[in-house]
Every structure is written in C-alpha cells, then in structure tokens.
Amino acid sequence: MKNPFSFSGIVEDPAFCDREKEQTDLTRLIENSQNILLYSHRRFGKTSLINRIFKDFKGVVTIYIDLYGTTSIEDFITELFKGISSVESKMDKLVKLIREKINSLTVNFSIDIYTGAPVAIPVFAPVDKRPAIDEIFALLESLSQNKKLAVAFDEFQEISKYGEAAFEKHLRKSIQRHNNISYVFAGSQKHLLAEMFANSNRAFYKLATSYPLKKINTEDYVAWIIRLYRKDKRKISKRYIENVVSRCENHPMYVQEFFFNLWDVPNISIEDIDRVESNILKNREAEFINIWESLTLNQRKALKLIAATGGKNIYSANNLSRLGFRSASQISKALELLLKKELVSRNDLYSIQDVLFKRWIEKIS
Ligand SMILES: Nc1ncnc2c1ncn2[C@@H]1O[C@H](COP(=O)(O)OP(=O)(O)OP(=O)(O)O)[C@@H](O)[C@H]1O
Ligand SMILES: [Mg+2]
C-alpha cells in the first residue's frame, strides 16, 4: 500500500484523521447559516477540515476562497470571482450568471489549466471598487435565495493588512444582511483575528461565533493509525503511536511527518522513532537557526527558560537568576515580543508554539 501519510497541504481520506465532533459542530452551524470564526495555530488542519466539510455538503452550496498572498482589494475581488466560478461547471452558465449581476467591472472568462473548469477574471480600471464589491455580495445573496450557501474565507486576517480602513466596514454591511449564508472566516494569526473580531471598535466585532480548532486527541490518532496499518495487513503497537503523538504534543502535521517516515520501517522500535526525530530536526535546522539569530539575547533566554520549565514559575527569583535576567520586567518585555512573533503562546502558562523548535532549543541548551 502507498504511504498513506502526508504532511503538506490539504489532507483527505485516508490521511485525514477523525475530527468527527468538529465536523458535526460546524455542519450544524453552517446549516443554520451562522457565521463562524475558525482559528488555530499554524498547521492544525483548518483548511483540511473546511475542505472535508464542504466537499459533499448536502443541501448547501459551498464556496471556498483562499486569501493567502492577497495584498489588496483587487486581489480580494479576484479571489472572490474565482470562488464564485466554482459554483458553475459550465462556461455558458457562469458567463450568464456574472453578466447578469456584475456591471461595474469588465470580467473576462478563461479555463483553469489544472482543473479544466471555467473561471471569471475581473479586469480593474482605476475606479472606486465599492460598487463591484456590493454587486458581488448581491450575487452571493441571489445564489442563496434558492439554496443555502456557505462561503469560507481562508486566511481572512490578510484583509486587515490591505491598509484600507473602510474596507472591513464595507464588507460587514453586506455580510450581516445575508440570512441564508454562513460565512466561515478561518485563519491562524490569532492576534490579528482576535483584534478584528473581539475589539468593539472594529467592523467584524461579534460578527461570528468563535470556533477554536484544537489538536487531535491521542485516542483518535491511535485508532486512525492502527486502522491504516491494518489495511496494509500490518500491526503497530499502541505504545509507539502514543510515544510519537506525545513527542509531537498531538500536533497533526508533525504526527503525519513522523509516521510518513516510519511507514517503511518493518518493525518499529524506539530507536527508529529517535532516528526519525533527529532527521526531522536536521531538516528544520537552517530554519530554526534563522529564527534564533533574529532574536535578541533576552528573547533567547526567555525561550530557554520556557523550554526548561514548561512555562512554570518563570518569574521566580531562582529561575530569573538562572538565566541571568536582572529583573522581571526584562523577561516580560521579551515574552511580549515573542508572543507578537507567535513563537510563544499563552494559555495558563507560556509555551513554545512549535514543538520541534522547542525540542531544538532543548538540544542546544
Ligand atoms: N484531520 C487531520 N488528520 C491528520 N492530519 C491532519 C489533519 N488536518 C491536518 N493535518 C496535517 O496538518 C497539515 C496541515 O493541514 P492544513 O493545511 O489543513 O492546516 P491549516 O490549519 O489550514 O494550516 P495553515 O495554518 O498553514 O493554514 C496537513 O498537511 C496534515 O499533515
Ligand atoms: Mg490553511
């Protein structure tokens, strides 16, 4: 059997593990036309989850829009048209739909070279984009008249970087009127998203139900991985799966990367898992060195302290002097910047976001 694990891009069956509860919760919210803010740290599986839910959604028309890499309202509109194009697989129908509803922009049509599907491509003149946005959202509304619609904006935080303050307000106006559309706003840059949706001065304040995506439970990984090995007429001990999952602190992409590398090993031992871990760390070393060298001395010390203590009692006099901090304010300033860089996160305790980066820091400490 081909290696079923994959640690890049969207994963689908058989590389998709569980998330039953998330699928049920989100499906119910979408069917009730609720707006959702789906967020997590990087590579937890937001896009894969949206893809899984949207793929065979019965009774709801789904539109997926990827805002990654967009830097302007023009890019945003272009991606919107791309998303809307996915609703019609026949060129003549797509042309008719767009021509009927969009007057403020010229729209060309083409065939996507990868999928063979028709795509609408807007042509921009240096004019006010607002009418076009209104028309596109009116088009979405008209699509939702006969059938419920779900529209996902992935990497939604990007819009806050366009440098157009009025744009969010403008979007809100359309979005809040749509009763038969569920908007899913997904992203990973927590501070930007939190600022957009939780700050009462911002346009998207309380516009969506928050749905933080958690890591996957150990039992679910165990059941999924045993099933994949069984399909290949092989056995794997639960103990080894638990060992890997715990090294990865349940992070979906790292669990996949470990098992991708372990798949061809006939009888897994702890030494094999150690070897895979050290190879993965080696592959990431250049990247980690880059990050490390971009940090100040105090930020490095703060990371070492979190790695050594698991985030517990980092302000204790003992711990501060252990790493040569002269005052608590020195470390709190360093932590604040590490939080901003999203290298560190804070729930009850501070923790290093990337578990492999943490292991690398442990190794160099
Ligand atoms: N349900 C899942 N089961 C197993 N592995 C998963 C699952 N979801 C995600 N992964 C792993 O995580 C990786 C990243 O998934 P995905 O791109 O969906 O995450 P994301 O949260 O959208 O990431 P980003 O923050 O980069 O947008 C996948 O390539 C896969 O290795
Ligand atoms: Mg994603």
Are residues 183 and 320 located together in one domain of the fold? no
- Given 146, 181, 212, the domain boundary residue is 212
- Give the residue, by CA position, lying nearest to ligand 1 atom 31: 7
Tens of pLDDT, residues 197-222: 999 989 999 999 999 999 999 999 99
Closest approach atom of ligand 1 to CA 68: 27
Which atom of ligand 1 is the closest one to the Cα of 155?
27
Task: Read off the pLDDT band of 126 (50, 70, 90).
Answer: low
**Which residue's CA is the closest to the ligand 1 atom numbered 13?**
253
- Residue 258 and residue 159 in one domain: no
**Residue finishing a domain among 212, 230, 246:** 212
Give me ligand 1 centre to Cα 168, in Å. Answer: 28
Looking at the fold, whether 117 and 30 belong to one and the same domain comes out as: yes
| 318 and 258 fall within a common domain | no
Whole-number Å distance, alpha carbon 22 to ligand 1 midpoint, is 14
Paired strand residues for 355? none
Q: Is there a single domain that holds both residue 283 and residue 178?
A: no
48 is a domain residue: yes
- The reply to whether 64 and 186 lie within a common domain is yes
State the closest ligand 1 atom to the C-alpha of 16, by its place in the atom list counted from 1.
3
- Is residue 280 in a domain? yes
Which residue's alpha carbon is at the smallest distance from atom 19 of ligand 1? 45
State the Cα–Cα distance between residues 274 and 276, nearest whole angstrom.
5
List Cβ neighbours of 354 (8 Å cut-off, separation of 6 or more).
343
Domain boundary pick from 264, 293, 322: 293
Please determine, for residue 164, whether its predicted confidence score (pLDDT) is greater than 90: no
Q: Which ligand is located closest to the Cα atom of residue 48?
A: 1
Peptide bond into 122 cis (omega under 30): no
Protein residues with CB under 6 Å of any ligand 1 atom: 6-11, 16-17, 19, 40, 42-48, 188, 252-253, 256
What's the pLDDT at 348? 86
**Ligand 2 centroid vs 6 CA: distance in angstroms?**
15
Question: Cα(315) to centroid of ligand 2, in Å?
Answer: 35
Indicate the SS3 state at residue 4.
Answer: coil
Q: Which ligand is nearest to the CA of 45?
A: 1
Mean pLDDT of the chain: 94
When pLDDT is averaged across residues 139-164 and rounded to a whole number, the result is 94
pLDDT digits (tens, 9 = 90+) for 248-266: 999 999 999 999 999 999 9
- Contact call for residues 71 and 56 (beta carbons, < 8 A): no
Q: What is the domain range of residue 123?
A: 20-212
Q: How many CB atoms lie within 10 A of CB 320?
A: 19
Give the separation between CA 355 and CA 307, rounded to whole angstroms. Answer: 10
CA of 65 to the centre of ligand 1 (A): 17
**Residue of 346 and 126 predicted with greater confidence:** 346
Closest to 204 (Cα-Cα) out of 158, 172, 159, 161? 172
Which of ligand 1's atoms lies nearest the C-alpha of 48?
18
How many whole angstroms from 187 Cα to the centroid of ligand 2?
7
For the CA of 11, the nearest ligand: 1
- Could you report the per-residue pLDDT of 59-83, keeping only the tens digit for each? 999 999 999 999 999 999 999 999 9
Best residue among 3, 43, 157, 260 to mutate for probing ligand 1's pocket (most ligand atoms within 8 Å of CB) is 43
Please say if the pLDDT value at position 192 is more than 90: no
In a domain, 8, yes or no: no
Ligand nearest to the CA of 41: 1
CA distance 10 to 92: 31
Residues 114 and 245 in one domain: no
pTM score of the predicted model: 0.93
Please indicate, yes or no, whether residues 141 and 287 belong to a single structural domain of this protein. no
In terms of domains, do 198 and 247 share one? no
Beta-carbon contacts of residue 360 (< 8 Å; ≥ 6 apart): 281, 284, 285, 288
* Domain total of the chain: 3
Residue 306 and residue 164 in one domain: no
Beta strands in 163-319 (DSSP E): 181-187, 209-212
CA of 188, nearest ligand number: 1
My answer on whether 99 and 245 are in the same domain is no
At a CB cut-off of 8 Å and minimum separation 6, what does 199 contact? 205
Phi, psi of 354 (to 5 degrees): -95, 115
What's the start-to-end Cα distance of the chain, in Å? 41
Which ligand 1 atom lies nearest to the CA of residue 257? 31
Confidence (pLDDT) at 347: 83
Beta bridge partners of 183: 151
For the chain, what percent of residues have pLDDT higher than 70? Answer: 100
Instruction: Give domain status of residue 7, yes or no.
Output: no
